């Protein structure tokens, strides 16, 4: 009788565990684990560090670093940035927060001509280019070129010929695999004097961004570290 009760108790405790969804710290492509962040930093020779301000949740600074003789060295003064309307700590699509973590940088892009002396990969954006933030679409968190009516194809999307995307760099957040609803279209892009915050991106002045584009080197596997 006792053994039957013990078996029943073990089954009762085990079944709820099966109902809990499996979760990996890398499920959304976000290097939340210390191990993953360490690996990315070991592989990279260029790094941008974004530090939120202690006085305002929507502002901060970014600073460029290069690895020399195995040690990170500052190669620029701090540059002013704006971040998410609700600060950092992105959890889901549309929460207006900038993700925290260590991420690889993807392609540079923009609707303007590629800046001179820029060797980093650059993709020209046109009126037919969109970044999809419709979580129900198979195109979610992807760059898509489409010549039809985007409003009939997606519930939500970013036009990549937007004024603030004159220049930008893709922050490789939520990829491999892309998790629906975890957040999309996270970029380092241009801000103007009227840009007080973003909806999840990091934005700096056009002058600062051009300097950054000219500095980036794909061979150095650049990363961005966004602090909380």
Q: What is the C-alpha to C-alpha distance for residues 69 and 2, in angstroms, rounded to an integer?
A: 66
pLDDT tens track for 83-140: 999 999 999 999 999 999 999 999 999 999 999 999 999 999 999 999 999 999 999 9
pLDDT tens track for 166-223: 999 999 999 989 999 999 999 999 999 999 999 999 999 999 999 999 999 999 999 9
- What number is the average pLDDT over the span 3-8? 44
Q: How is the chain split into domains, by residue range?
A: 2-226
pLDDT higher than 60, residue 16: no
Q: How many CB atoms lie within 10 A of CB 212?
A: 24
Q: What is the C-alpha to C-alpha distance for residues 199 and 191, in angstroms, rounded to an integer?
A: 12
| Maximum C-alpha span of the chain | 81
Q: What is the C-alpha to C-alpha distance for residues 72 and 105, in angstroms, rounded to an integer?
A: 18
The phi and psi torsions of 207 (rounded to 5 degrees) equal: -60, -45
**Token couple for 217:** 């080197």
Q: How confident is the model at residue 21 (pLDDT cuts 50, 70, 90)?
A: very low
Q: Which helix (H) or strand (E) holds 114?
A: none
The residue count of the chain comes to 228
> Is this structure's pTM higher than 0.75?
yes
Q: What is residue 59's predicted lDDT score, i.e. its pLDDT?
A: 98
pLDDT higher than 70, residue 23: no
Closest to 222 (Cα-Cα) out of 79, 78, 83, 65? 65
**Token couple for 161:** 């010929």
Placement of tokens 């013990």 in the chain: 6
3-state secondary structure of 97: coil
The phi and psi torsions of 47 (rounded to 5 degrees) equal: -150, 135
Closest to 107 (Cα-Cα) out of 172, 50, 36, 40? 172
Q: What is the CATH number of domain 2-226?
A: 2.40.440.10
Please, are residues 168 and 206 in contact by the beta-carbon 8 Å criterion? no
pLDDT tens track for 58-91: 999 999 999 999 999 999 999 999 999 999 999 9
- What number is the average pLDDT over the span 139-168? 98
Least confident of 23-27, 31-35, 112-116: 23-27
């Amino acid at each position: 009788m006792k053994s039957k009760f013990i078996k029943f108790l073990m089954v009762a405790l085990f079944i709820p565990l099966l109902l809990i969804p499996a979760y990996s710290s890398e499920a959304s492509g976000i290097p939340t684990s210390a191990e993953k962040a360490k690996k990315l930093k070991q592989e990279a020779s260029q790094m941008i560090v974004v530090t939120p301000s202690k006085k305002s949740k929507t502002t901060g600074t970014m600073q460029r670093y290069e690895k020399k003789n195995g040690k990170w060295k500052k190669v620029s003064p701090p540059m002013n940035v704006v971040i998410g309307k609700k600060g950092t700590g992105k959890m889901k699509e549309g929460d207006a927060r900038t993700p925290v973590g260590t991420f690889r940088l993807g392609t540079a892009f923009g609707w303007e001509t590629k800046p001179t002396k820029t060797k980093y990969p650059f993709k020209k954006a046109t009126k037919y280019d969109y970044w999809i933030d419709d979580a129900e679409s198979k195109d979610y968190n992807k760059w898509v070129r489409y010549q039809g009516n985007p409003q009939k194809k997606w519930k939500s999307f970013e036009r990549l010929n937007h004024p603030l995307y004159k220049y930008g760099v893709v922050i490789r957040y939520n990829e491999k695999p892309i998790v629906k609803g975890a957040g999309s279209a996270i970029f380092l892009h241009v801000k103007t004097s009227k840009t007080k915050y973003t909806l999840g991106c990091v934005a700096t002045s056009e002058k600062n961004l051009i300097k950054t584009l000219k500095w980036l080197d794909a061979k150095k596997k650049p990363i961005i570290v966004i602090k909380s």
